[in-house]
């Protein structure tokens, strides 16, 4: 949720600079903020799981 508020704030702020800056914010900055927030949440989740003793490993590939 905070990343969405930051994205909206940046978009509105850049719209005051001009329409092309606002479109740039919506087209480039918003997806980058979304990917960054997903990465932070995934990393935080893995860290919390490890702290509680949960170990995630990939299973070996099955031979066909």
- Residue-wise pLDDT tens digits, 40-64: 999 999 899 889 888 878 888 887 7
- pLDDT reported for residue 44: 93
CB burial of residue 25 (10 Å; 0-12, 13-18, 19+): buried
**DSSP H helical segments within the chain, as ranges?**
2-15, 19-24, 30-51
- Residue 1: band (very low, low, confident or very high) from pLDDT cuts 50, 70, 90: low
- Residue 4: band (very low, low, confident or very high) from pLDDT cuts 50, 70, 90: confident
Residue 20: pLDDT above 90?
Answer: no
Two tokens, residue 48: 């919390």
Mean pLDDT (the chain) is 84
Q: Where are the domains of the chain?
A: 2-51
């Amino acid at each position: 949720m905070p990343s969405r508020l930051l994205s909206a704030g940046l978009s509105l702020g850049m719209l005051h600079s001009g329409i092309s800056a606002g479109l740039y914010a919506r087209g480039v900055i918003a997806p980058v903020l979304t990917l960054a927030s997903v990465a932070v949440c995934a990393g935080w989740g893995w860290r919390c799981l490890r702290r509680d003793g949960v170990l995630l490993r990939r299973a070996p590939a099955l031979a066909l």
